[in-house]
Amino acid sequence: MSSPSLVSTVSFLLVVFLVASAPVVATVWSGRRLGEAREVTRRKLTIVIAVEVVFLAVTFAIARAGLLSRFDTLPPPLMRLLGPTMIAVVVLAFGRAGGRLARTLPLAALVGFHGFRVLVELVLFSLHRDGVVPPQMTFAGLNYDVVTGLTALPVAFLYARGTVGRGAVLAWNVMGTGLLFTIITIAMLSVPGPLRVFMNEPANRIVATAPFIWLPEVLVAAALFGHLVIFRSLAAAPRSLSMRAESAPQA
């Protein structure tokens, strides 16, 4: 059985820790926008970092111990881990954390964040060349999620310049969400077991191993969270504008 190369593994880890740093930056940025005291922001930063460290350590340990390596049950242990994570992502995105980010971070920044997905696709292609990721999970096969990453920064720039409006951002976000769910589905149907549809080798076993469990648990989760927060931002801004208009003194 092939193994990931050192280059692929290190590149993957760099992308993970780059994405994991985003909540730290977002916490500081939103704190400044809200005018929070430094002590309050520091306390929130401590909580964010502690939660991230524990989450990364626990998921790594579970995968490292081989607890996700069985694929003959339905659902397999991998899905039992991913399910609660995705539910937590939705709860956070539509809860106070997502609302805070939607209110305080510029929409262009929320869109531009998704540029990290280009790096993810490059790592996936490198892992495919190592012989551990099936072709359908790369841009050489059926994975077109790279389009989201390639267009994220241009769309963010054009929106910040006022060249495109909120409708264009909404269309881009719908596209990106659709492409994300498409590759999630392809990845699930490439995992060994009763649900497998793509029978070519290698099967998608790598996501059940450490540290590559962080591909779905961190990178996919971050992309989904980012899309949901953009939807909240797009939905909340018109209400904010109308509230300001209603509170303005009448002539």
Residue pLDDT, tens place only, 80-111? 999 999 999 999 999 999 999 999 999 999 99
Q: For the chain, how many helices (H) and strands (E)?
A: 11, 0
Domain map of the chain by residue range?
6-236
Residue 114 · residue 173 · CB < 8 Å = no
- Omega before residue 211 within 30° of 0, cis: yes
Angle at 89 between CA 59 and CA 29, to 5 degrees: 100
> Would you say residue 237 has pLDDT above 90?
no
- pLDDT tens digits for range 35-88: 999 999 999 999 999 999 999 999 999 999 999 998 888 889 999 999 999 999
Torsion of CA 115, 119, 121, 123, to 10 degrees: -170
Segment 135-143 shows an average pLDDT of 95
Q: Give, rounded to a whole angstrom, the gap between the first and last alpha carbons of the chain.
A: 76
Residue 74: CB atoms within 10 A of its CB come to 9
According to DSSP, residue 196 is labeled -
* pLDDT tier at 247, thresholds 50, 70, 90: very low
Residue 180 · residue 227 · CB < 8 Å = yes
Number of residues that make up the chain: 251
